[in-house]
Chains A and B, each alone.
Chain A
Amino acid sequence: MMRREDWYPRLVTWKHWEVQKPSRESVAGFFIVLAASLLLHTVVLVICRVFKGS
């Protein structure tokens, strides 16, 4: 029988915790989406600054 640890790696080895180690696709996608989110938030900040004139 395959052991659980062989099937999917865990991010932390704490007892009872099941946070899986993310794949390369997960990490890359995470940062791409984060960049898009930060870009959008910057747009909002720029709009506010332009209208406030400061």
Chain B
Amino acid sequence: MLMQRDHMPAILQLHWLDWTIVGLYFAAMIAIGVRAMRKVKNIDDYYTGGQSFGRLLMILYAFGAGTHADSAVGVTSQSYRLGMAGIWYQWIQIFNTPLYWLLSPVFRRARCTTTADFYEMRYGPSLGLLYGFMGIVVNIGYLSVALLGSAKLIESLTNGYVGATTATIAMTAAFLLYSIMGGLIAAVWNEVVQGTLTIVMSVLLVPFVWTAVGGVAGARSKIANIDAAFSLTAPGEIGLFWIIAAMINQMFSVVAQPHIMSNNAAGKTELDNRIGFCAGVTLKRVCTICWALTGVLAMAYYGADTMDGDHVFGALVRDLLPRGFAGLMLASIMASVMDNGAVYVITSSALFTRNLMRMAKKTPAFETELLISRIFSVCFAIAGVALTFLHTDVPAAMRFMFNLVPLIGISFWLGLWWRRANRYGAWASFVASSLALIVGTSVFEWTGNKHFPTLITFYLACGLGAGVIISLLSRPESPERLDRFFLTINTPVGQEEKLAQLTGDLA
């Protein structure tokens, strides 16, 4: 059910004021991109922003990098369908966040440009190569989910006049132009604007839906089964097993995200990174409450199961917020895709030029590397768009990513905590968990919410088991490599002389 606002002089179902706001927004973003382009003086500025960002920027960067339109669309969609239990699609990190505080310094202290460098430092070049490929695949997946969520939102905001396909292609062109211009500096500044807009829009929608529904009394009278709608579990779909399995899975996922390195290393100090990452993630949880509540209240406003869940968030913005806000939301979505797309493109091109090309013994000059990374960006975007068309809906696309990323994250934890873990075990954990995922989805047909925790348990158990057994059966990594790795990740940035002395002693 896509409604149309009365008496509205509409261009593609949006008021002229909405389009003016979109235009102004884009002018500002292009100005930021041009300004950022002037600051890119070397390849590290392009990839990690030269470790120059303060606390507030890091909070909004962490929030923005982890929050896309698909987050709002997916949670609202699931909450509209399942009730408050839909919140778990983004709420699973709530009890993991304190662990991120402990984990954050590891990435900064590793002194790596890409996550693949981290794997290479711990396990040797072959794992760096594996992560290089896998990281690019993961980024293509993330991009496709972000594009799908945003395209669905634009489709519903414009009442179907701008189709998902057109929206996808327009957004791809926008973020490609943006990332090619300014690298991570442009992306981080965009996160600040987009992050602020996303928070405002997420919080702002709640009082409007609340009033339209008639508050608590209205919701109780309009929602058929209020107890089920406001339960944090959905029988047969999201239960305690689902929640615990998804939380554990998330710990294997968060460490293997290709942008985790810049998320935790782009700040000026270790504390800036810690506060930025944890506060950014927590801020997202505040928005998650708003998205879930919005989804459940939409049951009362539109009636349950009267529209595609993916369209609920956009329809509410269009139908309930004053003129101009739909334009602001549209601008916010575009900004979200632009900066997330930019981050994915930048981290992927870093993986390609830094890790994969290095395997081919190529060390190009800065200008050549920048040119190669920009050409690669275009190929990467095409792959992302192609994958977008294979997803059926936003929650399914999110589950696809929940399952894909941890496959390479198992070896991260083994390597971080267990000296005996070696490259053979790391390869075995990746191969075994990948095979288990394929067998689970194709042979046992463990798909959808119902079988989600069983599938997670199966591939994590296979990956961990194979990693441990093969490591024990094969030759350990050299003590020099292990000592160098553990000394590095335990020495804060700034104590380089001591580190050099220690690693020099090892040599």
Chain A positions near chain B (C-beta within 8 angstroms):
1-2, 4, 7-8, 16-20, 22, 25-26, 29-31, 33-34, 36-37, 40-41, 43-45, 47-48, 50-53
Contact = CB atoms under 8 A, between A and B. Distances in A.
Closest A-B pairs by Cβ, 7 of them: A8-B490, A1-B505, A34-B98, A48-B230, A33-B98, A16-B420, A51-B230
A18 to B, nearest CB: 6
B207 to A, nearest CB: 14
Contacts of A22: 102
Nearest to A29: B101
A11 B353 CA distance: 38
B496 to A, nearest CB: 14
A7 B99 CA distance: 23
A22 B105 CA distance: 11
30 contacts: A2-B501, A2-B505, A4-B487, A7-B502, A17-B417, A17-B418, A18-B418, A18-B486, A20-B490, A26-B102, A26-B105, A30-B99, A30-B101, A33-B98, A33-B278, A34-B98, A37-B97, A37-B98, A40-B94, A40-B285, A40-B286, A41-B94, A43-B289, A44-B84, A44-B289, A47-B230, A47-B293, A48-B84, A48-B230, A52-B227
A8 B105 CA distance: 14
Interface in B79-128: 84, 87, 91, 94-95, 97-102, 105
B495 to A, nearest CB: 10
Given A16-B419, A40-B282, A52 B230 contact: yes
A27 to B, nearest CB: 9
B102 A30 contact: yes
A36 B282 contact: yes
Contact of B216 (A17, A29, A51): A51
Contact of B219 (A20, A36, A51): A51
Contacts of B226: 51-53
Contacts of A51: 216, 219-220, 226, 229-230, 296
Interface string B467-507: 00000000000000001001100110000000001100110
Interface of B: 84, 87, 91, 94-95, 97-102, 105, 216, 219-220, 226-227, 229-232, 271, 274, 278, 282, 285-286, 289, 292-293, 296, 416-420, 483, 486-487, 490-491, 501-502, 505-506
B68 to A, nearest CB: 20
A25 B417 contact: no
A8 B220 CA distance: 57
A50 to B, nearest CB: 6
Contacts of B506: 1
Contact of A37 (B94, B105, B289, B293): B94
Nearest to B100: A33
Interface centre among B219, B271, B417, B487 (most CB of A within 10 A): B417
A48 B231 contact: yes
A33 to B, nearest CB: 4
A2 B219 contact: no
A2 B102 CA distance: 25
Given A19-B417, A29-B274, 16 more contacts: A2-B502, A8-B487, A18-B486, A26-B102, A30-B99, A33-B97, A33-B98, A33-B100, A37-B95, A37-B97, A37-B282, A37-B285, A40-B289, A47-B293, A51-B226, A52-B230
Given A40-B282, A51-B220, A7 B490 contact: yes
B220 A53 contact: yes
Contact of A17 (B230, B231, B274, B419): B419
B382 to A, nearest CB: 39
A1 B505 CA distance: 6
Contacts of A17: 417-419
A36 B93 CA distance: 13
Given A40-B285, A48-B84, A48-B230, A18 B101 contact: no
B418 A48 contact: no
A26 B226 CA distance: 42
Contacts of A33: 97-98, 100-101, 278, 282
